[in-house]
Amino acid sequence: MKQLQSSWKFVRVYPVVPLILIGLLVFAAVFAELITTNNGEGGDLFYRNFPPSWYENGSTYYILGADPLGRDVFARVIFGARISLMVATIVLSLGGLIGTLIGLIAGYKGGQIDELLMRFVDLTFAIPFILVALVVVIVLGQSMSVIVLLLIIFSWGAFARQIRGESLALKGRDYVSIARISGASTPYILWKHIFPGVVNTLFVIGSLRVGSLILTESVLSYLGVGVPPPTPAWGAMVSDGRDYIATAWWVTFFPGLAIFLTVMAFNFLGDWLRDYLDPRLRQLRE
Amino acid sequence: MRTFIIRRVIYGLAVVWLVSFIVFGLSRAAGDPRDLYIDEYTTTESWEAMGREMGLDKPLIVQYTLWFGNALTGDFGRSMYHRTSARAVIGERIRPTLELTLGGLFFAVITGFPLGVLSAVRRGSVWDYIGRTFALYGQALPAFWLGVMLILIFSVQLKWLPTSQRGDWTHFILPGITLGWGASAAFVRLVRSSMLEVLDSEFVVLARAKGVATRWIVWKHAFRNALIAPMTFAGVLLAAYLTGTVVTETVFAWPGLGRLAVQSVFNNDFPIMTGVVMIFAGFFVIANFIVDLLYSWADPRIRLE
């Protein structure tokens, strides 16, 4: 009984469930080929809207049924994890890098450079993103790199704004002033003295942004301007099943559930990381 | 206060200008705008004439100025797909979108605020549990999926509500919930945390000590002050709402601006697309401006900024 209590406490204190979910997701994304033999891109029209295996006329081959083009829903959900995670990883690393650089420079340099960069960040927040994304996609065409680029533009600002604040605070510390007086160059100070102080913030913002990033990517692919077909993207899968909702609910249900669980797991983890690493950032999500 | 307003106006104009610049730049990057109008009767002469009529023989900066000037008066050109002016097509879509937005806001306010207050006042109760769970899960739920699932449950299975389109009040229920869901979850979260803060403050303790009725304290003293935090969030919420109308209108085949924007992408209909984006940007800026004014009115400390 005592053991049970302590393990419950462990679950309450540490983000066990989100970590398990994220672990499964990463596993699915990396080993998709091993989990399912079918890559979810080729369909067999004979099996269109085929029901999941627990239905009387279902088959164990299509565990979660098949979509309107006869493609395996389970395989597509698994391969969809790869797309979502890949997009999130690339966007966060590049967006985080750009945002951090700009934030560090703006905070450290201050003055007009700071003012200019921060007003620019404000502007990027004020632009109706999804609509601009629609226009960009008509012009440049639908492709993975366009989506990644758009999402980077959409995400770097949050990093820049927060890191600028941190960098501004660190700039006034004695050790930074001493480094400056002893003749250290600006890049050296930024890298050796300021950057280590903002790493925690960087991780916290990164983990808090994953959820909204995956959600935004899925909205774009739901609207038909995301990662181009036949690559399985969760948002596009939900839209594939929209017209068949009365007869084949599984086509929309499972990919949507995957988005929901993923976003929730990352949000939980982000909240936990923030409280653990940097409680001062509490207002970030509110 | 005056400089504050002037600054916000300049800032709003800068946003509109930037959006117009992006949209114009992209529409020219897409290729010659005459390509859309070409057909088997097009001759070199008519091609040249069309270019002169559209001002394509002038430098890009002049073209941009002309385009922007027309856009400000609501003239976005002629839609080839709809075979009429973009302004007419866009004009009849504004009302449905506004109605839907109000419906979503109505849902978010009538669910989010009471649940947030209840959750804070009866801390640790079932209501608090429901409120916190809803706030946590609500924002992770993709709206487009929620919409389809609501259709599955309430329209397909139970046959209580219509699946899509505009119509009588029953048509507003599912789209309203879909659009307002995320905002409602956010309201619960914000109202709860700011109510908790205000309920702990000295003037509330004093009011309690004086023997003021709890209901009066909650609504008169605490709630009013707790409204400030959700208001700061209103700007962010508006951005989410814009995305929300695009998604919700697509799910429910709602004849509004958001769906028009998506359709125009697939029809390669530039005049409509640019028009919708500019109108949304305009709404967005105006709404943000109103939020800023309300905010500085509610919390005079902001004016010092």
What CATH number does residue B226 fall under? Answer: 1.10.3720.10
Q: Residue B109: pLDDT band by 50, 70, 90 thresholds?
A: confident
How does pLDDT run across A154-203, given as a tens digit for each residue?
888 888 888 888 888 888 888 888 888 898 888 888 888 888 888 888 88
How does pLDDT run across B254-279, given as a tens digit for each residue?
888 888 888 888 777 778 888 888 88
Q: Which of B240, B193, B254, B199 is nearest to B222 (CA)?
A: B199
Query: Is B35 in the same domain as B108?
Result: no
Q: Reply yes or no on whether the pLDDT at B294 is more than 80.
A: no
Query: Is B129 in the same domain as B181?
Result: yes
Residue B223 per-residue DSSP state: I
Query: Is B108 in the same domain as B239?
Result: yes
Amino acid at B22: I
* Cis peptide leading into residue A279 (ω within 30°): no
d(CA B242, CA B230): 18
Within 10 A of B35 (CB to CB), how many other CB atoms are there? 9
Q: What three-state secondary structure class fits A36?
A: coil
Query: Is B183 in the same domain as B240?
Result: yes
Query: Is B42 in the same domain as B100?
Result: no
Does any domain span residue B279? no
- B30 to A139: CB separation less than 8 angstroms, yes or no: yes
Query: Is B125 in the same domain as B252?
Result: yes
- A127 to B243: CB separation less than 8 angstroms, yes or no: no
Alpha-helix runs per DSSP H in chain B: 2-29, 44-53, 60-72, 86-121, 126-138, 143-150, 170-199, 202-210, 214-216, 224-226, 228-251, 257-266, 270-298
Which tokens sit at B304? 């010092």
d(CA A240, CA A244): 8
pLDDT value for A97: 93
Residue pair B291/B235 in contact by the 8 Å Cβ criterion: yes
pLDDT value for B200: 79
d(CA B279, CA A260): 31
* Residues in contact with A87: Cβ distance below 8 Å, sequence separation at least 6, in sequence order: A144, A147, A148, A151, A213, A214, A217, A227
Q: Residue A286: pLDDT band by 50, 70, 90 thresholds?
A: very low
Of B19, B262, B280, the CB nearest to A223: B262
pLDDT value for B304: 47
The fraction of chain B above a pLDDT of 70, given in percent, is 87
Q: Reply yes or no on whether the pLDDT at A77 is more than 50.
A: yes
Chain A: residue nearest B30 by CA? A139
How does pLDDT run across B20-75, given as a tens digit for each residue?
888 888 777 766 666 666 677 777 777 777 777 666 777 778 888 887 887 777 77
In this prediction, residues A221-243 reach a mean pLDDT of 83
Q: What three-state secondary structure class fits B183?
A: helix
Q: Reply yes or no on whether the pLDDT at B162 is more than 60.
A: yes
pLDDT value for B302: 55
Query: Is B101 in the same domain as B209?
Result: yes
Q: Reply yes or no on whether the pLDDT at B152 is more than 90.
A: no
Does any domain span residue B272? no
Q: Which of B129, B101, B115 is nearest to B287 (CA)?
A: B101
Mutate to test the interface with A, among B8, B260, B265 (most CBs of A within 10 A): B265
Q: Residue B121: pLDDT band by 50, 70, 90 thresholds?
A: confident
pLDDT value for B305: 43
Q: What three-state secondary structure class fits B166?
A: coil
Predicted TM-score (pTM) of the model is 0.82
User: Does A87-229+240-285 carry CATH code 3.40.50.10260?
Assistant: no
Q: Reply yes or no on whether the pLDDT at A260 is more than 80.
A: yes
CA-CA distances (angstroms) from residue A27 to A3, A31, A85?
30, 6, 11
Query: Is B60 in the same domain as B98?
Result: no
d(CA A154, CA A127): 9
In this prediction, residues A64-82 reach a mean pLDDT of 80
Within 10 A of B292 (CB to CB), how many other CB atoms are there? 21
Query: Is B124 in the same domain as B236?
Result: yes
- The rounded mean pLDDT for chain B is 79
Query: Is B41 in the same domain as B139?
Result: no
Number of domains in chain B: 2
Query: Is B106 in the same domain as B199?
Result: yes
Does any domain span residue B173? yes
Does any domain span residue B227? yes
Does any domain span residue B240? yes
Query: Is B120 in the same domain as B251?
Result: yes
Does any domain span residue B298? no
pLDDT value for B303: 52
Does any domain span residue B300? no
- A286 to B190: CB separation less than 8 angstroms, yes or no: yes
Q: Residue B233: pLDDT band by 50, 70, 90 thresholds?
A: low
The whole domain housing B28 covers 2-73
Does any domain span residue B9? yes
Interface of B with A in 234-253 (CB under 8 A): 239, 242-243, 246-247, 250-251
